Amino acid sequence: MSTVLVINSGSSSIKYQLVDTVGGEALASGIVERIGEAAGSIKHSFAGTTTSRTDPIADHGVGLRAVLDLFRELGPDLQEVGIAAVGHRVVHGGSVFDGPAIVTDEVIAQIDALSPLAPLHNPPNITGIRVARELLPDVPHVVVFDTAFFRTLPEAAATYAIDAEVAREHGIRRYGFHGTSHQFVSQQVAQILGRRPQDLNQIVLHLGNGASASAVRGGVAVETSMGLTPLEGLVMGTRSGDIDPAVLIHLQRNAGMSVDEIDDLLNRRSGLKGLSGENDFRTLHDLVAAGDAEASLALDVYLHRLRKYIGAYFAVLGRVDVVVFTAGVGENDDIVRARALADLESLGIAVDLEKNEGRIREPRVISPEWATTTVMVVPTNEELAIAQQAVDLIGVVDDAADLGHA
């Protein structure tokens, strides 16, 4: 059995995808939205058809039950398909989880204990796991953490230079996020180039609405731009990324802003949106072309930060074999890709404008032949990565059980 139901449970939504890990395809997918509100909705896509329903959805349990009913009604029938596992995306695995884990009551308690580090994400993730376990009790459930790939960060990269006691007491360190994507994409790169992961040093640029960079040495993550939370690092759609921490103190002391207001400012009213009112790159480029000064500055700030990180990761790695772009912006935006790596020929890095042109849906090399660093675009697929990790983990556990019986 190789099919996995992947669930990503948020505070008011459940995204799901039924993934065939052998073919690497999504057999069906959908989303339950506005859980707990007066008008909820479910969209279910299967065999080229998307069906939408609007119904009040009281809670996650009602939502997931409705999804399972849709699988029965519209297909594919989960009984017939025979799912190997349910794979759950969990945002924060703290210092506890360095890889996927089979869900047990103890694992749920551990994820719950990490909730103070991700108060908006871990609690709804747990809700999704609980209801899925109740409704699908006969299949193993596996959790895959956004932070796990970055458990290998060296202490020098993971440690904030603050009072060590305070940091220890409150779990304050750099955890990193988007790890499933950085791991998947860096492994894909090695496979596509026919190289062993341990022989490659890579800079992975996951540029979506949220954005993060990582440095991967020989398949192992050694640096990443996100920290205690997904707020640190690159300029993002609505998040500030790096900022002088004294700005927060200043806003509280002198502008009278509350902690919640500052949280909202930095997470939802900053980044490209805060600078220009627009966080979608397609519109942003149109505004720039029309001479909009704010949009132009927003794009410049975004690219300046991105280039700073690329330069920093060259120094971290010493030798960079591959720079790879992924996620919504990385896969679709040729302007961002070209400008991110412009004028770096002296580092052996360049983008061939013809190879770079347009949206890129399949893995592709976009650097010229002479470049010493290969530049690539590799579409990410977090659902497939979660499904593969779930199947692999169950395989390992089953093999261990078989050996135990022998």
Which residue ranges make up the site for ligand ADP (CB under 6 A)? 208-210, 237, 279-282, 327-329, 332-333, 359
Task: Report in angstroms the alpha-carbon separations of 159 from 176, 223, 272, 306, 375.
Answer: 12, 11, 28, 22, 30
> In angstroms, how far is the first alpha carbon of the chain from the final one?
22
372 touches 319 (CB < 8 A): no
> Distance between CA 342 and CA 32 in Å, rounded?
42
How far, in Å, CA of 173 to CA of 160, rounded?
A: 6
Q: What are phi and psi of 225, to 5 degrees?
A: -90, -25
Residue 55 is a catalytic residue: no
Q: What token pair was written down for 276?
A: 């220009």
- Nearer to ligand ADP by Cβ, of 170 and 282: the residue is 282
Q: Residue 175 or 314: which CB sits closer to ligand ADP?
A: 175
127 vs 14: CA distance, rounded Å? 10
Compare residues 146 and 333 and give the one whose CB is closer to ligand ADP. 333
- Tell me which residue has its CB nearest to ligand ADP: 328
Tokens linked to 235? 């300029």
Please name the helix (run of DSSP H) or strand (run of DSSP E) that holds residue 85, with its range, or none: strand 83-90
Among 59, 146, 292, 402, the one annotated catalytic:
146
Output the smallest distance, CB 25 to ligand ADP, in A.
19
Helical H segments across 41-86, by residue range: 60-74, 78-81
Cβ atoms within 10 A of the Cβ of 101, count? 21
Nearest distance, CB of residue 357 and ligand ADP, angstroms? 12
Distance CA 217, CA 237 (A): 28
Does residue 189 contact residue 324 with C-beta atoms inside 8 Å? yes
Q: Which are the contacts of 12, defined by CB distance < 8 A and separation ≥ 6?
A: 33, 34, 35, 36, 37
d(CA 203, CA 324): 6
What contacts 397, CB < 8 A, 6 or more positions away?
102, 140
Residue 235 DSSP class: -
Angle, CA 31 vertex, CA 26 and CA 37 arms, to 5°: 175
Rounded-to-integer distance, Cα 129 and Cα 125, Å: 6
- CA dist., res. 110 & res. 104, Å (int): 10
So which residues are the catalytic ones? Answer: 146
